[in-house]
A and B are shown apart, each in its own frame.
Chain A
Amino acid sequence: QQQVKQSPQSLIVQKGGISIINCAYENTAFDYFPWYQQFPGKGPALLIAIRPDVSEKKEGRFTISFNKSAKQFSLHIMDSQPGDSATYFCAASTTGRRALTFGSGTRLQVQP
């Protein structure tokens, strides 16, 4: 049972372009939606997170857009750089249950 579905599986973007990764969830009790970034040989690290009381959160070049009615959220990376090349995971959890449910991941390649 995959409660968080992530797409695309892989993405190639030119330097300076916009990278967009989408996630959809099923459990309406989810109330915390983070994105994690993972470089090869390393553990995932928190990139940005949102709670459903807002529709958008921006931190530098990274923006989360959240659509509660559609049960979808997405990560936008503006002005993508080669250093952004990594695997990105969306995730979700409910208050009180600290365990995150992760999407299947998106491998992003930003070409110079």
Chain B
Amino acid sequence: DAGITQSPRYKITETGRQVTLMCHQTWSHSYMFWYRQDLGHGLRLIYYSAAADITDKGEVPDGYVVSRSKTENFPLTLESATRSQTSVYFCASTHPSTGELFFGEGSRLTVL
């Protein structure tokens, strides 16, 4: 049971570059989420998706773009990376019956 796979696990990039973080789930869960984790802020919601082709903004969406053409994939793109986007990014999906949120292992992004 692979669950949620995120790639890359580690990424270093430069200010102004475009970066895409990939997320793949094997359960066919409808809801998927992107959170960022920063010390002192906990986990903050960036974007979420209720189903393929349906996405919505979370608490901190500025500077990010998402798409969901297939149920199992939910990529997150930083169109022009900034240093403030240095963070650990977690993808998650929700079990349809229990509401439990399952997280991937995270993608650590450093923007120089």
Query: What residues make up the interface of A, taking CB atoms closer than 8 Å to B?
Result: 6, 9, 32, 34, 36, 41-46, 49, 89, 93, 98-105
Contact = CB atoms under 8 A, between A and B. Distances in A.
Contacts of B99: 32, 93, 98
A104 B43 CA distance: 7
Given A32-B99, A99-B58, A43 B42 contact: no
B45 A46 contact: no
Interface residues of chain A: helix, strand, loop or mixed (majority): strand
A47 B92 CA distance: 16
A6 B41 CA distance: 10
Nearest to A9: B40
Contact of B40 (A36, A98, A99, A104): A104
Given A41-B106, A43-B4, A100-B43, 7 more contacts: A43-B92, A43-B103, A98-B48, A98-B50, A101-B59, A102-B43, A105-B43
Give the most central of A36, A45, A99, A102: most B CB within 10 Å. Answer: A99
B106 A102 contact: no
